[in-house]
Amino acid sequence: MIDFYTAATPNGFKVAIALEELGLPYRVIPLDLSALDQKKPEFLAINPNGRIPAIVDRDNGDFAVFESGAILLYLAEKAGKLLPQDPKRRSQAIQWLMFQMGGVGPMMGQANVFYRYFPEKIPAAIERYQKEGRRLFEVLDSHLAQHEYLADEYSIADIATWPWVRIHDWSGISIEGLPHLQAWMARMVEKPACQKGITIPPRNETPEDLVKQAQQMVTR
C-alpha cells in the first residue's frame, strides 16, 4: 500500500494519474494547504521541503519519497511500467521529465503567482514568466510534431507535463498556433487515468477559495 499525501494541484495530480495508470494500491491522505498541514512536523518528517506531493511505501519499509518527478520515477520503476526499458528511450523519458520539473512547472508556477496571486502587479515579472512558459510550449510543440508522446511511447514524462499544460489559460499562456501540443493534449485527456487523476483529492473549495489560499501562500 502506498500512502499518498496530496492536494488538488498539478504536482499532486501527476502522482494521482500515475498511481491510477499503474494500478498500484494507494490511500489518499489529503493535506489542507491553507491550514499549513504541509508544514507540520509529522509531514516534514516525510517531506523536509514541506510541500505536496509525497508518498510513503508501506510495502517497502515505510520508504518515503518527495518531489513529484522522483515519485513518478519510483512508482514507474516499482511497477515496471511508464518508463521505457531501452536505455536511450529511457533517457529520453527522463530528459522530458526533467524539462517539466526544471522548466514547465516552475515557470508556469511563477506565472500563476505573478499573474494571479501576488498582491502587487509587476508587469515585467508577469511578462517574463508568461514568455518563458510560451517558449517552453513551443519547444514541446516542435518535439511533438515528430513524436506521438514525449518519449515516443506514453510515459511518466507525459504524465508530469499534462497537468500543467492543461491549466495554461489560468497562467495566461496561449497555446494558439501550437497544433502538435494541442493534439497531444487531446490524446492525454482521453485517458481514463488522466480524467480520474485530476479529481484526486476531491475539491471542496470554490475557485475563489482556492485563489484566496494561493494568495495567502505567496504572501506569508
Site residues (CB under 6 A) for ligand GSH?
9-11, 33, 38, 51-53, 67-68, 217
Give min distance, CB of 126 to ligand GSH, in A: 19
How many other C-beta atoms are found inside a 10 Å radius of the C-beta of residue 206?
Answer: 9
- What is the DSSP-derived secondary structure letter of residue 204? -
3-state DSSP call for residue 52?
coil
Phi, psi for residue 70 in degrees, rounded to 5: -65, -35
CB of 183 to ligand GSH, least distance (A): 26
User: Smallest gap, in angstroms, from Cβ of residue 145 to ligand GSH?
Assistant: 27
Tell me the residue number closest to ligand GSH, measured at CB.
Answer: 51
**What span, in angstroms and rounded, lies between the C-alpha atoms of 91 and 56?**
26
C-beta of 176: minimal distance to ligand GSH in Å? 26
Nearer to ligand GSH, 52 or 181 (CB): 52
Helix axes of 156-165 and 179-189: crossing angle, nearest 10 degrees? 110
Query: What value does the CA radius of gyration of the chain take, rounded to a whole number of Å?
Result: 17
Nearer to ligand GSH, 9 or 92 (CB): 9
C-alpha separations of 182 from 14, 123, 133, 134, 193 in Å: 19, 28, 15, 13, 19
- Minimum Å gap between C-beta 53 and ligand GSH is 6
Q: In the complex with ligand GSH, which residue's Cβ is closer, 20 or 178? A: 20
- For ligand GSH, the closer CB: 18 or 52: 52
Residue 151, C-beta contacts closer than 8 angstroms, at least 6 positions apart: 84, 89, 90, 92, 93, 96, 157, 158
Which CB sits closer to ligand GSH, 19 or 52?
A: 52
Write down the number of H helices and E strands in the chain: 11, 4
Smallest gap from Cβ 119 to ligand GSH, in A, equals 17
Question: 17 or 178: whose CB is closer to ligand GSH?
Answer: 17
